[in-house]
């Protein structure tokens, strides 16, 4: 069964959230193996009155399965050439920004700069352009990076399963790919042109990655594009689907919120901090063993507060500029994909974690 | 039996403290080190995936007390081949020739894959490793692991991190009575009393991580586990009386034999 079939089955759920009673939420909180109806109850308006209980349960489960540790990673932008016109993205082909692509030598400079901070997990990003950043180019960069890092994940355009398998052979062990919006209509409106406008190809990409030999697959929704309850619900269903279909793959989820960027896009559905807590804790209770990551899009204080509640991975020392780590390409024309909020260095993030009683995990895999 | 002489022998080494401690979930290496030192444990396990001999900052191995037997584990391995490769890398990295095999194909419950574990055990035991396989308690598999050269078997008490205690007791008891190598309960023990129960049952040792690492005072909790393990072992050696739920005042079925 494809995830599209599951999505279709649970497509019209908006009214169901309103039918959830306080007793349903209590039942969801008490369930030993929460099911889909429990997950829905935890995302309901009624659950907002149970946020503290949800946070307590989420914290306890996160501690049991992940201990007092937080894994650190950082993004590395290889290229911002892009053929898509995603209305929310700074790299959209519609934006007149200077386009750049790192040479292998520049990738090595970036790798050196990042490795000097102690980080061993890296997330490689590109815009979508099979001509300017083809798979052969990505492989070339991965070869360089494999000398510096023990884990390499990619966040690039959607590929076929055999293309993913080819990258696994080069040393890629993780795939991050966000659906951005699960609602098909919303998705089509915000992805008006370019290869990414193919909803079905994007939706099935995480499963293709999981089937290709990736060790980790991380999915996400871009909060703010659509009504959050249903998007969070579909995200949870997608994570559960992947976990059921690929039990050997570690599944993770991210919940990026819209941030300011180049271009004039107004966020249609604002998502406040309370909502973020409700989604993260509901996800943790529904799927206790998935990784939950949060990037530097979010501000320092908010990330710190969420560390004890449900997060397992955070980014550190981030730059959303192409070549931003080694600073050699950092100038006024080179614009970021989005503005980051938590601008602290890796050392500062590590000190914060230690002060909060958490072990920063810089290395959690090895090339075998 | 004199408790001082009650030594567990694995891989030619003498182990006094039958509490083994896992290292994956502590809030800081310094704290982990104190836990290992102050609870006076002899055996600890470290995931090789976390070891960084070229670390710019901290390397977990620098915080393992010298007296501890280091048992690197193959956490992250999805099949026998990956477990074997991790074990070889571990030995090449100077982490010794002990290995705890963890092969997990199931990220939902973190339950081990017994058949892949057996394959890895066969290969690594032949290569001279002291192999401690983490397994689901199953008698046939345990016998095969013995034949494959395992130095001990490590059945789970309940799923990793679940803190649900010694739920597999019925099956582990069978291993204890049938298997001639040490049976070490690994995973799921949330309380010192459950660790004590394992030892009363005749297990050779227990391995604990989560319950100690996430306790408010991990050092005190480790000492408590250590004491509980010692007490359980002492009770086992003292000869545990058979327990029964019912009082037995008479012999309703065979009483007539005495009435003649």
Could you list the active site residues of B? 100
* pLDDT tens, position by position, B44-55: 999 998 998 877
Among the four given CATH numbers 3.30.230.70, 3.40.50.720, 2.60.40.1180, 3.20.20.70, the one describing domain B3-238: 3.20.20.70
Single pTM value for the model: 0.90
pLDDT at res. A344 = 84
Query: Per-domain residue ranges for chain B?
Result: 3-238
Task: Give the DSSP H or E segment for B98.
Answer: strand B98-101
**Three-class SS state of B215:** coil
Q: Does B53 touch chain A (CB under 8 A)?
A: no
Q: How many CB atoms lie within 10 A of CB A199?
A: 18
Q: Do A67 and B209 touch (CB under 8 A)?
A: yes
CA of A348, closest CA in chain B: separation in Å? 13
Of A169, A142, A168, which Cα lies nearest the Cα of A78?
Answer: A142
ipTM of this complex: 0.84
**φ, ψ at A207 (rounded to 5°):** -65, -40
pLDDT at res. A295 = 87
pLDDT at res. B1 = 46
Rounded Cα distance, B98 and B88, in Å = 11
CA of A368, closest CA in chain B: separation in Å? 6
Which parts of chain A have pLDDT scores under 50? Answer: none
CA of B78, closest CA in chain A: separation in Å? 7
Rounded Cα distance, A195 and A188, in Å = 12
Task: Give the DSSP H or E segment for A151.
Answer: strand A151-155
Which parts of chain B have pLDDT scores under 50? Answer: 1-3
Q: Vertex A248, ends A246 and A253: CA angle to 5°? A: 70
Query: Which residues of A lie inside 8 Å of B (Cβ-Cβ)?
Result: 63-69, 115-118, 120, 150, 215, 243-244, 247-251, 289, 350, 354, 357-359, 361-366, 368
């Amino acid at each position: 069964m494809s995830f599209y079939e599951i999505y279709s089955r649970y497509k019209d759920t908006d009214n169901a959230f309103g039918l959830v009673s306080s007793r349903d939420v209590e039942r969801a909180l008490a369930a030993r193996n929460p099911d889909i109806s429990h997950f829905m109850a935890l995302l309901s308006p009624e659950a907002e009155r149970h946020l503290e209980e949800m946070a307590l349960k989420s914290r306890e489960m996160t501690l049991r399965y992940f201990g007092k540790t937080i894994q650190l990673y950082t993004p590395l932008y290889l290229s911002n050439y892009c053929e898509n016109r995603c209305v929310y993205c700074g790299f959209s082909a519609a934006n007149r920004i200077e386009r750049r692509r790192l040479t292998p030598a520049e990738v090595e400079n970036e790798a050196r700069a990042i490795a000097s901070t102690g980080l061993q997990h890296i997330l490689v990003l590109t815009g979508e352009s099979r001509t300017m950043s083809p798979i052969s180019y990505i492989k070339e960069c991965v070869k360089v990076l494999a000398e510096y890092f023990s884990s390499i994940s990619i966040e690039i355009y959607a590929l076929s399963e055999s293309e993913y398998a080819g990258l696994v052979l080069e040393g890629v062990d993780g795939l991050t790919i966000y659906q951005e919006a699960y609602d098909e209509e919303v998705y089509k409106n915000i992805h008006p042109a370019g290869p990414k406008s193919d909803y079905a190809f994007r939706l099935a990409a995480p499963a293709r990655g999981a089937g290709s030999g990736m060790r980790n697959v991380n999915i996400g929704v871009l909060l703010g594009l659509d009504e959050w309850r249903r998007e969070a619900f579909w995200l949870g269903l997608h994570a559960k689907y992947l976990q059921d279909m690929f039990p050997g793959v570690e599944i993770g989820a991210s919940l990026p919120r819209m941030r300011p960027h180049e271009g004039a896009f107004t966020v249609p559905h604002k998502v406040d901090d309370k909502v973020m807590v409700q989604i993260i804790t509901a996800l943790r209770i529904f799927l206790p063993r998935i990784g939950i990551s949060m990037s530097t899009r979010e501000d320092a204080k908010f990330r710190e507060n969420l560390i004890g509640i449900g997060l397992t991975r955070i980014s550190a020392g981030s730059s959303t500029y192409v070549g931003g780590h080694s600073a050699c390409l950092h100038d006024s024309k080179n614009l970021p994909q989005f503005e980051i909020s938590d601008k602290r260095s890796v050392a500062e993030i590590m000190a914060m974690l230690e002060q909060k009683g958490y072990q920063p995990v810089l290395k959690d895999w090895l090339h075998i | 039996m004199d408790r001082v002489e009650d030594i567990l022998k694995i891989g030619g080494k003498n182990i006094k403290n039958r509490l083994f401690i896992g290292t994956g979930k502590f809030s800081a290496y310094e704290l982990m080190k104190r836990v290992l030192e102050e609870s006076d444990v002899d055996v600890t396990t470290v995931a090789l995936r976390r070891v960084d001999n070229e670390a710019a900052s901290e390397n977990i191995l620098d915080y393992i007390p010298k007296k501890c037997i280091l048992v690197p584990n193959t956490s992250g391995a999805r099949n026998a081949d990956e477990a074997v490769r991790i074990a070889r890398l571990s030995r090449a990295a100077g982490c010794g020739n002990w290995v705890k095999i963890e092969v997990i194909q199931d990220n939902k419950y973190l339950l081990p894959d017994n058949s892949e574990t057996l394959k890895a055990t066969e290969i690594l035991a032949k290569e001279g490793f002291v192999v401690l396989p983490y397994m689901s308690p199953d008698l046939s598999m345990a016998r095969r692991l013995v034949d494959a050269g395992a130095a001990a078997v490590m059945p789970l008490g309940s799923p990793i991190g679940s803190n649900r205690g010694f739920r597999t007791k019925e099956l582990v008891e069978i291993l204890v009575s049938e298997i001639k190598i040490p049976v070490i309960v690994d995973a799921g023990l949330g309380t010192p009393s459950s660790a004590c129960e394992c030892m009363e049952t005749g297990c050779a040792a227990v391995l604990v991580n989560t319950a100690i690492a996430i306790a408010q005072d991990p050092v005190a909790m480790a000492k408590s586990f250590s004491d509980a393990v010692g007490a359980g072992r002492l009770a086992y050696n003292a000869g545990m009386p058979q327990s029964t739920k019912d009082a037995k005042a008479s012999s309703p079925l065979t009483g007539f034999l005495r009435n003649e």
